[in-house]
Every structure is written in C-alpha cells, then in structure tokens.
Amino acid sequence: MNSLAREKSPYLRRHSENPVNWLPWGEVAFNMSRELQRPIFLSIGYSSCHWCSVMERESFMDPKVAEFLNRHFVPVKVDREELPEVDEFYMRAVQAMTGHGGWPLTVFLTPDLKPFFGGTYFPPKRSMGLPSFMEVLRAVVNAWNERREELIKSSEEVTSLLRASLSTNYVETDVTMDPMSEAYDQLVMSFDNRFGGFGGAPKFPMPTYLRLIARFYWWRRERLAALMLDKTLRNMYQGGIYDQVGGGFHRYSTDNSWTIPHFEKMLYDNALLLGVYAEAHKLLGVELFKECALDVIAWLLREMFDGNGFFAAVDADSEGEEGRYYVWRRSELLELFGESVGEVVSSYYGVTDGGNFNDGMNVLTVRGTVDEISSALGTSPAEAVKYVRTKLRSHREKRAPPFIDKKIITSWNGLLISSLAYAGWIWNQRDLIEVAMRVADFLTTKLFDGESLWRYWLDGPSRHRGSLEDYSHLTNALIDLYSYSGREKYLEIAEMLIDVMLKEFRSDSGALYNVPRSYKSEHLRVIDAVDGVVPSGNSMAVSALAKMHQLTGRSEYLDSARRIVLNFWDRMRAYPLNYTYMISNLGLLTPEAGQLFCAVGEEDLEECSLRVGSSIPFHPYLSVATFSETRRPRPLEGVTGDKKPIDGRTAFYYCKGFTCNLPTTELERLREMLKSTASNR
C-alpha cells in the first residue's frame, strides 16, 4: 500500500495498491522533488474515467514501469474532482504544449512545479501514432539528465505564457447584449442540421450553449434558435447518449448522431441538462422535454442520492469493460419479453442481431413509436413504456453495476439545487423544491462554517477548501432556492457567502481568483472565466452577484458583477463561445432584467411561490422575491418596505430597474405585464 491509502478520495484510494509509490499533491511530494532534484510525474484523473482505468491496468500496475517511475521521478496522483484548480492549470499547460488535452492527464514538472512536457493517455506499446509510455519516460529522464537547463527554461516560458493567457484586461465600457448575438451567430455556423448539437464527433451536449440559445430565442424570437434547441434536445433524449433504461445522460457521444456514448455519467452534466430541459419546456411548451427532465430527476433520486446530497459520478466500466452494464443483445430482449413483444421492443429501440456497439451488442436508442409497443401490450402508451423500462431495468440490475463515486461535491450539488428548485417552481411540485432544500441545508451546515467552505463531503468534509466554483455555484443556488421557495434563510446565507467570496477571491481588477488568498501553491492562483461543460467560477459569480443586486438594490453587488464582466469583455467579444455562460447572464446587467416582488397576504408563502412559478411565462432575467410581513428577508429590507398585500390579498409588483408598475392581485394581469415586456423588445 502506498501513501494514497490514507486519502479520502475514492479515485486516489483505488491507486493505493499500485506498485507506484504515489504521493498526494502537497508539500511532502514537493519537498522530496526539491531534495532529490527529480522531476515530478503528475497523473490527473477521476474515478469514472475509462482511459484512466485503462492506463492504470496497463502501466501503473506493471512492476517494471513502477520501478522506473519510483527510481527516476516523484510520482504524484491527483483527483481532478478534488483539486479542480490543479487540473485546470496543468490541463491548460498540456493544451498549450500539444494542442489537445483530456484524461488521464500526464504532466512532467520541475521541482518548482512548472510543466515542461505532457500528454494524456500513453499506451504500453506504440500504437495509434503514440509512443509507448516507457519510451516517454526514458526520453524525459534522458532530457532531464542531459538538458536540464533547457527544460527548466522551457518550463518557465510555458508557465509565463500560461499565466499571461489567464491574465485579465479591464476595459471601461457599457455592458450590452451584443456578445450574445455574436455567440449565437457562431453557434449557427457549427450547428448540426441533421442530428442537432454542435460540431462533429465526439459530440458533447454543451448545456451552456443550449442555455444561451434559449435566452437568445426569448430575447430575439428568432425561429431558427427554437428549431436548434428543439432538434438537439429531442435527438439527445432519444439517442444512446441518454440511458433509455435507467435514465440520465452519459458524458458525450462518440459519434455525431448521439448513438454510441462514452458511458460515464457525471452529476454536473445531468444537473445542467435538467435545467435546460425544464427551461425549454417552459419556453417552447414541448411535453417531451418535461418528460425527460422528470426522468433525469427520477434516476438521480433513485441511484445518486443518499438523503443528504448527490453523488459525483458513475463509472463507464463494469467487469473491466466500458459500457458492459448498459448494452443488450437482441436475443436477450426476445427471451425477456417473448418472441412477439420482444420483436416490437427490439424495433422500438433499434436493436439488431449485428448490434450498433460491438460483437452483436446494442446501445438502446428510440427508433420506433410508442404506439407500436402500446398495441403489442394492449395498454396505454404511458403504461407500455413504463412496463418495458421497468422490466429492462429489473433485468439489468442483476448485472455487476458500475462503480459510483459517492463524493458530494459542493459546486456540482449547487448546480443541481438550482435546476431542481426551478423545475419544482415551474411545475408546482413542492417535493422537488424540498429535495433542493434538503441538499442546501446539508451543504450549508456540514461544509460551511460561516468563514470557510469545503470542497466535498465523503464520510466527513474533505481536507481541501472550496475553490471559486464551489463558492459561486452554491451562492447562486441559494439565491435561486430563495426565489423559488420564499425561504428567507437561503438568501441570508447567500449574502454571507458573497461576503466571504469577495473578501477571499477578489483581485485588484475586480475579477476573482480561482482559489482563496491563503492558497499555498501561489503560481496556481490564477484568474479564469472560460466556460467549459461546467460554468466557470467567475461566470457563476456574475450570475449570483447580479441576482443579489436585482433583489436587494445594493449597488455594490452590481458593481462587482459588472467589473468581473469588463475584465473579460475584449476576450468575450473575440471568442464568444469560450464565455457562453457569462454571456447568457449579461441580461441581468442590462435593462432586460426585471424584479418581481410578491407581497404575500392571507395564504401560505410557499404555495404562493409555486402558484406564481407555474403561472407566469418564461423570463430568464427575472429575479423573484416572495415575502410576508412575518417572513421578510433581512437583505431585502431596503426595497420591500413599501410593498404590501392589498386588502389581505397577495400583491404582485413587477419592476424594471426598481421602477415598478402598479401592483396587481391578479395573476392574469401579471402574465400580461410579462408578455408585454417580451413582445416590446
């Protein structure tokens, strides 16, 4: 057993039985590298990563490879989900050096932690145009022994260029919606007209892109935007990227038709896509999107929830094979359902004897109509699908399941809190909001002590403090949870988190560092706002700060959000697809933003909130405050004092820029106000 046996991360513990003398990221490893003058071999991955598992089996379990690593390097293992700032910095370095990145991430560092060479997966023997792993190791050792000064100089240049690329450029200008038009135009250019989505294989769902398109359609009512959103969401839900038996989205599609997935399931993908499908249902009225969102929720509650929070990920592999748990032979379906019904089920899911995966195996996709199954079973369409899926799931559960990483990660749970609360609000489902509140209560009592927020929970809090994404994602989630539940405590905790976030992370320019001031590895303390699949910490901070300003009227929140945006304004205009989440939040800083104050009269506050959410039209830049005389959040005292019920009835105050229309007690009148706002744009 190596040093990783004492770690909390399941990914690190899994490597504790490797013959490699792994050390966790920290001063012990750094000091050893400096004392021995050996380079650090840094390997970054995560528990559900398929190719991480492959490289472990092929190389890190090989005694000869391990002996070479132990003799010439200081081997360090990092779980990217535990230390996202380490992964982010060195991923950027490898991308700069090689033009691509991914996991497992393989990086060679000088003793002062500067990268001089890197890559991703290296095979045990030359293949696919890649050198063998041992060839790479020997070449690095030779270069370190013979050309060390050159490597050190190169590492300094790479680090310098990387830090320069992560610097900011504050410009003083008006914040407008122009970058949204520019991002949308680029998305149109890359849109796949046949299958939906953007670009070719491998194809990622990219929820930040879809979220921006939904807002662009609301803003401009351009029909193409609605068609792009509709086609993409339909094809993903009916494709193999969606688990047609158990529910939930796999990470990405290896082809351009959403048919064959990379099978791992990540909480962040499903949290964000849940929100996209819920918004799309509210915006476009397509019932299929609500069905998908509720199915994702059912999977999350059934397999990913322990009553406190939601787990991080499900592995791609089981029994040593990628996707084994999820694929089917046609003969299995015929045996399970009988010849007649089995034929119909096979046709519905596109299952053939030859298979679409490998060796006669099939990834299930929706290729037929529900009416075919309904007719074969003699039941209603809904009951037919339920029966088939339940039978398939029961049969599949007899297989060896993939590993579930049960870390409850603060930022990813924050994403899900927002999506669950929004879904419950628009569909008048208090149970969904109650789940979101349960998770929020757990995070804010177990992982936040009023000063520090911790990265995750797994049988106790992690030893790593949260990064910017943890603070900003949770803060935004609590503001949303207040807006959709009316529970004042969430807004008050969000205010506390904002104060800590600005104190600990804000730079002189106003943008936010990725880690707090106390972070020990100074060169990893950088400023970044690039939105990948997961929104950046700076982008989410803009959302949280702008919403807090819309609710409280406090100008310092607006100024903080605006300063973050203007630090990236030039880059946002030049490379809009790198900043799609931040761009989709710009409406909160423009006249598009609005406030809805609900002064609750003689009715239940939570019931009133749900009644509003299920009644009003989609408005992505509307901040909602629900309160009563006895439950009025302290942060709202400056803007709600004159807003009261009318004759005991709940009064709705719709405002823009804190200039309010006359209050109304009628939801129909409120709907008309919001529709008028949309049509007058």
pLDDT tens profile 320-375: 899 999 999 999 999 999 999 999 999 999 999 999 998 899 999 999 999 999 99
Q: Is the pTM of this model over 0.85?
A: yes
Identify the residue with better confidence: 503 or 592: 503
Q: Are 133 and 97 in contact (CB under 8 A)?
A: no
What does the pLDDT look like over 531-567, one tens digit per residue? Answer: 999 999 999 999 999 999 999 999 999 999 999 999 9
Distance CA 456, CA 582 (A): 25
Closest CA to 38 of 78, 71, 62, 63: 71
pLDDT single digits (tens) 249-308: 999 999 999 999 999 999 999 999 999 999 999 999 999 999 999 999 999 999 999 999
Q: Is 313 helix (H, G, I), strand (E, B) or coil?
A: strand
Pairing of the two strands 622-627 and 404-405: unpaired
Segment 657-670 mean pLDDT: 90
Q: Tell me the mean pLDDT in the region 570-579.
A: 96
Per-residue pLDDT averaged across 607-614, rounded?
Answer: 94
Reported residue count of the chain is: 681
- Look up residue 101 and give its amino acid: G
**Structural contact between residues 331 and 324, judged by C-beta atoms closer than 8 angstroms:** no
Q: Which residues are CB-contacts of 436 (< 8 A; sequence separation ≥ 6)? A: 416, 417, 418, 420, 421, 424, 477, 481, 485
Phi then psi for residue 203, to 5 deg, are -115, 125
Q: Tell me, what's the pLDDT at 549?
A: 96
pLDDT digits (tens, 9 = 90+) for 50-89: 889 999 999 999 999 999 999 999 999 999 999 999 999 9
For the chain, how big is the Rg over CA atoms in Å?
A: 26
Q: How far apart are CA 297 and CA 390, in angstroms?
A: 16
Is residue 149 over pLDDT 90? yes
Give the separation between CA 415 and CA 405, rounded to whole angstroms: 18
d(CA 498, CA 551) in angstroms, rounded, equals: 14
pLDDT tens sequence across 363-404 = 999 999 999 999 999 999 999 999 999 999 999 999 999 999
> From CA 483, how far away is CA 465, in angstroms rounded?
28
Single-letter code of the amino acid located at 630: T
Alpha carbon separation from 371 to 71, 323, 335, 412 (Å, rounded)? 65, 29, 22, 38
Question: CB of 113 within 8 A of CB of 107?
Answer: no
User: Could you give the CA distance from residue 652 to residue 173 in angstroms, rounded to a whole number?
Assistant: 34
Residues 6+ apart with CB under 8 A from 467: 84, 85, 411, 455, 514, 515, 537
Question: Which residues pair with residue 527 across a beta bridge?
Answer: 513
Say which DSSP state 507 is in. Answer: -
Strand, coil or helix: 176: coil
Residue 677 has pLDDT above 80, yes or no: no
Of 182-191, 600-609, 665-674, which has the strongest mean pLDDT?
182-191
- Cα 344 to Cα 337: distance, rounded to the nearest angstrom: 10
- Per-residue pLDDT band for 679 (boundaries 50, 70, 90) equals low
- Mean pLDDT over each residue of the chain, to the nearest integer: 94
3-state secondary structure 501-513: HHHHHECCCCCEE
Q: Higher-confidence residue: 585 or 659? A: 585
The domain spans of the chain are 3-165, 199-405, 408-679
DSSP state of 600: -
> Which pLDDT belongs to residue 303?
97
DSSP E strand boundaries for 199-348: 252-253, 261-262, 265-266, 313-314, 317-318, 321-322
Which pLDDT belongs to residue 241?
Answer: 98
Q: What is the 8-class DSSP label of residue 617?
A: P
Query: Above 80 in pLDDT, residue 678?
Result: no
- Residue 45, SS3 per DSSP: strand
d(CA 515, CA 374): 54
What confidence tier does 576 reach under pLDDT thresholds 50, 70, 90?
very high
Average pLDDT over residues 597-616: 93
- Nearest one of 470, 612, 599 to 544, comparing CA atoms: 470
Q: Under a CB-based contact definition with an 8 Å cutoff, are residues 280 and 272 in contact? A: no
pLDDT at 680: 56
% of the chain exceeding 70 in pLDDT: 99
User: Cβ distance 207 to 233 under 8 Å?
Assistant: no
Beta 317-318 vs 321-322: how paired, if at all? antiparallel
User: Pairing between strand 317-318 and 594-599?
Assistant: unpaired
Tokens representing residue 280 in the block = 């799309």
Q: Are 226 and 284 in contact (CB under 8 A)?
A: yes
Mean predicted confidence (pLDDT) in 151-175: 88
Domain 408-679 has CATH 1.50.10: yes
Segment holding 77, helix H or strand E? strand 74-79
Supply the pLDDT for residue 94: 92
* Residues 177 and 220 sit within 8 Å (Cβ to Cβ): no
- Separation between Cα atoms, residue 280 and residue 289, nearest integer Å: 7
User: Among candidates 126, 127, 154, which has minimal Cα distance to 140?
Assistant: 154
The sign of the CA dihedral 478, 472, 544, 492 is positive
pLDDT on residue 167: 79
Q: In degrees rounded to 5, what are phi and psi of residue 409?
A: -85, 130
Answer CATH for 3-165 from 3.90.1150.10, 3.40.50.720, 3.40.228.10, 3.40.30.10: 3.40.30.10
Q: How far is Cα 468 from Cα 507, in angstroms, rounded to an integer?
A: 12
Mean pLDDT of 465-478: 97
* Average pLDDT, integer, range 515-523: 85
Distances 681 to 174, 178, 678 between C-alpha atoms, Å: 19, 14, 6
The interaxial angle of helices 84-98 and 148-165, nearest 10 deg, is 110
Give the β-pairing of 40-45 and 74-79: parallel
pLDDT of residue 681 exceeding 60: no
